[in-house]
Amino acid sequence: MVWKSTVIMLFPRDAWWTASFNSPPHRSEVYVDVTTVPEWRGDEVTMLDLDLDVIRMRDGRLILDDEDEFAEHQVSLGYPEEMIAQAEETARWLMGAVGKRQGPFGGAHSRWLDQVV
């Protein structure tokens, strides 16, 4: 038996994150990367991944992942102080919003996943 998982991506125009919404059997329901603000050029979107990830597992667990990589890259890649502060603030906000299922993390993605699964 082959297991397929569908992913829907969200690239907000003015926020420091990008989100993936996953169908079963993927273990995570929501996976959010803290990034620089996504920039659109035609059909292409680019952003810089700032290491921190907020993950909501299917069993409801909420995880802030890759804090060690974020700390390491602050030094090795010379992240500016403003970028560090924005990434940390975004991660805190995401932990609340994803954990409380607020805004785009409240299940709006389910309707779209249902159409392609």
2: in domain: no
Q: What are phi and psi of 50, to 5 degrees?
A: -100, 25
114: in domain: no
pLDDT per position as a tens digit, 55-71: 999 999 999 999 999 99
Per-residue pLDDT, 25? 81
- Please, what's the b/e burial string for 26-44 (b: 16 or more CB within 10 A of its CB; e: otherwise)? bebbbbbbbbbebeeeeee
Q: What range does the domain containing 61 cover?
A: 7-106
68: in domain: yes
111: in domain: no
* pTM metric for this prediction: 0.88
Per-residue pLDDT, 5? 67
State the Cα–Cα distance between residues 93 and 85, nearest whole angstrom: 12
H helix or E strand, kind and range, residue 71: helix 67-76
Per-residue pLDDT, 112? 60
pLDDT per position as a tens digit, 86-111: 999 999 999 999 999 998 888 776 66
Residue with more model confidence, 88 or 3: 88
Provide the domain count of the chain: 1
CATH number at residue 81: 2.40.380.10
CA dist 59 → 8, 28, 95, 104 (Å): 20, 9, 16, 19
Q: Is 9 helix (H, G, I), strand (E, B) or coil?
A: strand
State the Cα–Cα distance between residues 25 and 98, nearest whole angstrom: 20
116: in domain: no
